């Protein structure tokens, strides 16, 4: 089995629908279960920071995310996060020498039939295993550094700001 450290903060990737509320809510991550279902050979050590829409993340949450990553023995860390402020959180981490950290998330909840969630986790994992060190964002099938990427909300994709 391949072991990875997964730090979860919430976001669309972890939203579920509740009939009794007629509403969506951010819940526990289904990513570890999906990785097991597909026989991926990937075992997850999960650390949950919070379950929030990324627009609701506070400086306290971001400090907790940074402290969690620093505390991990593992040098390679995958972070799932809401898409709206993913770039902000990645930038807020500052320098993390010796660590490789890749953020990902989803445009559609991972509990959907046609979700991009598990695929994006795959892209992030491929980047995590390939990059020497640094902080990256894996979305829309690409691997960005946080300083040159933005979410294009209308087009529903992440794109480079340097082109």
> Interface with a second copy by CB under 8 A: which residues?
1-2, 4, 12, 15, 17, 19-20, 22-24, 35, 37-42, 53, 55, 83-84, 102, 107-109, 111-116, 118-131, 138-143, 153-154, 156-158
Nearest to 112 by CA among 30, 38, 37: 30
Note whether 70 and 96 are within 8 A (CB): yes
By beta-carbon proximity to a second copy, the closer residue of 71 and 132 is 132
Nearer to a second copy, 41 or 71 (CB): 41
From the number of C-beta atoms within 10 Å of its C-beta (0-12, 13-18, 19+), residue 58 rates as: exposed
Least distance from a second copy to the Cβ atom of residue 9, Å: 15
CA distance from start to end of the chain:
39
CB of 77 to a second copy, least distance (A): 14
> By C-beta, is 35 or 49 nearer to a second copy?
35
- Secondary structure (3-state) at 98: coil
Q: Which is nearer to a second copy, 6 or 93 (CB)?
A: 6
Residue 132 burial class via C-beta count within 10 angstroms: exposed 0-12, middle 13-18, buried 19 and up: exposed
The minimum distance between CB 146 and a second copy, in angstroms, equals 15
């Amino acid at each position: 089995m391949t072991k990875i450290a997964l730090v979860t903060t919430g976001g669309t990737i972890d939203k579920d629908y509740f009939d009794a509320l007629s509403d969506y809510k951010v819940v526990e991550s289904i990513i570890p279960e999906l990785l097991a279902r597909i026989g991926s050979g990937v075992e997850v050590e999960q650390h949950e920071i919070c379950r929030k829409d990324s627009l609701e993340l506070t400086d306290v949450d971001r400090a907790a995310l940074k402290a969690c990553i620093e505390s991990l023995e593992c040098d390679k860390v995958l972070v799932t996060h809401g898409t709206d402020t993913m770039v902000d959180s990645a930038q807020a981490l500052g320098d993390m020498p010796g660590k490789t950290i890749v953020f990902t998330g989803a445009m559609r909840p991972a509990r959907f039939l046609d979700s991009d969630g598990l695929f994006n986790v795959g892209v992030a994992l491929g980047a995590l295993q390939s990059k020497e060190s640094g902080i990256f964002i894996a979305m829309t099938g690409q691997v960005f550094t946080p300083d040159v990427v933005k979410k294009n909300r209308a087009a529903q994709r992440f794109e480079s700001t340097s082109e």
